């Protein structure tokens, strides 16, 4: 029994460490520490193994399919995990209902919760996130004004050949511009944007509530076994032949040995529930502050750029000479040279023309941003990256009722 418990705790600890590393390893807090190093090791192992076993050509094709194109792999993983746990439930806990603490109606309410979870998955997977086309661009332009810092007006998407509305972004995986782009979700094989962010939250909430419900049913069913067999008042024989009175630790060991499949499943779904709750909590925080995942990265970059611009303007005040072009060259010269080298690797003239067009658009956008920041710094203004935050309640309503579908007059009045 001791060996079984040891391996169970070891498995839980190692699995928890790996999951934490994969989720938090790339963050600024960990990337330069031990967790960051462990993360880089973990993500490099599959690449090395694949190169050794299958060759570099296969690796490039696999990398392109799995990482740089839409594919249903994670959708299938999710459906497999959910369906396997449902089957295990049917062969274990479901047979023990009704019992002392779980009435018979739970045989049906559990499946209602499961159907709602499947529905939320399908709704989030196949709903329109807010794909922007020439035919509907005007509709999304009304949703949000430009703040002229995070989002510069008249910025064109050279791929879709449209003027990007504020808060939109071109997703390289779907190949389309998405309104109020949050992120691309592999579990849904879909972008998450203005129109389906509510369904993404429904998907997370329904999964979490299903897990909470399942944990309750599992725990109460196991507790029913303890009381039905009167385990608190019986004695147990140890491996040495000694009889001992019941205690919480001994009863737990007994239940683990007798119902190992149920306990293991309970621990697994509870761990999944904690991760889903943490992920949903993060997105609920983003809702309350009216920020997208994409904007959290933009804000970090803009804060760093603002520090550079303010220092530059401060040093130039005495000379009364703010040269935006010189500042641009100082900041982006190396990046442009690297892009030029990459461009030269391609022999396709059409590709080169497209890249040149994109380069020109990026330069115009960056120049506009630098001009705006220099102007703000000269006027001693502060950088406002909370332009779209209209208060918690209004922010929540904006997710439930997307502006592109429910236009209201004076939408941005506080």
**243 — phi, psi (to 5°)?**
-95, 130
Write out the two tokens for 252.
Answer: 């737990």
pLDDT < 70: residue spans in the chain:
1-6, 8-9, 12, 23, 27-29, 59, 67, 238, 318-320, 337-349, 351-352, 407-414
- pTM to 2 decimal places: 0.85
Percent pLDDT > 90 in the chain is 52
Taking only the tens place, the pLDDT of each residue in 280-313 is: 999 999 999 999 999 999 999 999 999 999 998 8
Give which of 321, 358, 323, 364 is closest to 153, Cα–Cα.
364
Radius of gyration of the chain (CA): 28
Give the residue from 217, 137, 213, 125 showing the smallest Cα distance to 170.
Answer: 137
- Look at residue 72 in the predicted model and tell me its pLDDT: 92
Alpha carbon distances (Å) from 18 to 11, 13, 268: 11, 9, 14
- Dump pLDDT digits (tens) for 93-136: 999 999 999 999 999 999 999 999 999 999 999 999 999 999 99
Annotated domain spans of the chain: 14-69, 293-385
């Amino acid at each position: 029994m001791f060996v079984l418990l040891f391996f169970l705790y070891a498995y839980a600890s190692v699995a928890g460490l790996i999951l934490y590393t994969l989720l938090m390893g790339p963050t600024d807090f960990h990337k330069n520490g031990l967790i960051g190093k462990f993360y880089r090791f973990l993500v490099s192992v599959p690449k090395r193994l694949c190169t050794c076993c299958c060759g570099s050509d296969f690796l490039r094709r696999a990398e392109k399919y799995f990482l740089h194109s839409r594919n249903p792999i994670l959708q299938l993983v999710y459906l497999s995990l959910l369906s396997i746990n449902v089957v295990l439930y049917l062969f274990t806990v479901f047979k023990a209902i009704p019992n002392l603490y779980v009435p018979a109606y739970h045989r049906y309410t559990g499946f209602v919760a499961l159907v709602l979870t499947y529905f939320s998955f399908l709704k989030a997977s196949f709903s329109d996130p807010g794909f922007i086309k020439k035919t509907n661009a005007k509709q999304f332009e009304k949703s949000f004004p430009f703040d002229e810092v995070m989002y510069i007006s008249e910025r064109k998407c050279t791929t879709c050949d449209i003027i990007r509305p504020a808060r939109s972004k071109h997703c390289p995986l779907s190949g389309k511009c998405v309104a109020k782009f949050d992120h691309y979700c592999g579990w849904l094989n879909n972008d998450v944007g203005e129109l389906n962010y509510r369904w993404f939250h429904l998907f997370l909430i329904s999964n979490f509530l299903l897990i909470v419900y399942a944990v309750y049913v599992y725990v109460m069913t196991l507790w029913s076994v303890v009381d039905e067999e009167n385990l608190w008042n019986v004695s147990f024989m140890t491996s040495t032949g000694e009889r001992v009175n019941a205690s919480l630790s001994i009863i737990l060991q007994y239940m683990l040995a007798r119902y190992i499949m149920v306990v293991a499943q309970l621990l697994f779904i509870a761990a999944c529930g904690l991760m889903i709750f943490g992920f949903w909590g993060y997105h609920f925080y983003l809702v309350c502050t009216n920020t997208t995942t994409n904007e959290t990265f933009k804000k970090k970059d803009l804060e760093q750029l603002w520090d550079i611009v303010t220092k530059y303007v401060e040093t130039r005040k005495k000379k009364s000479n703010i040269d935006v072009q010189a500042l641009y060259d100082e900041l982006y010269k190396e990046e442009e040279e690297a892009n030029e080298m990459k461009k030269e690797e391609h022999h396709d003239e059409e590709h080169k023309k497209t890249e040149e067009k994109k380069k020109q658009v990026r330069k115009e956008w960056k120049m506009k941003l630098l001009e705006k920041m220099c102007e703000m710094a000269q006027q001693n203004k502060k950088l406002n990256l909370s332009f779209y935050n209209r208060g918690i309640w209004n922010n929540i309503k904006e997710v439930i009722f997307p502006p592109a579908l429910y236009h209201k007059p004076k939408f941005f009045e506080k």
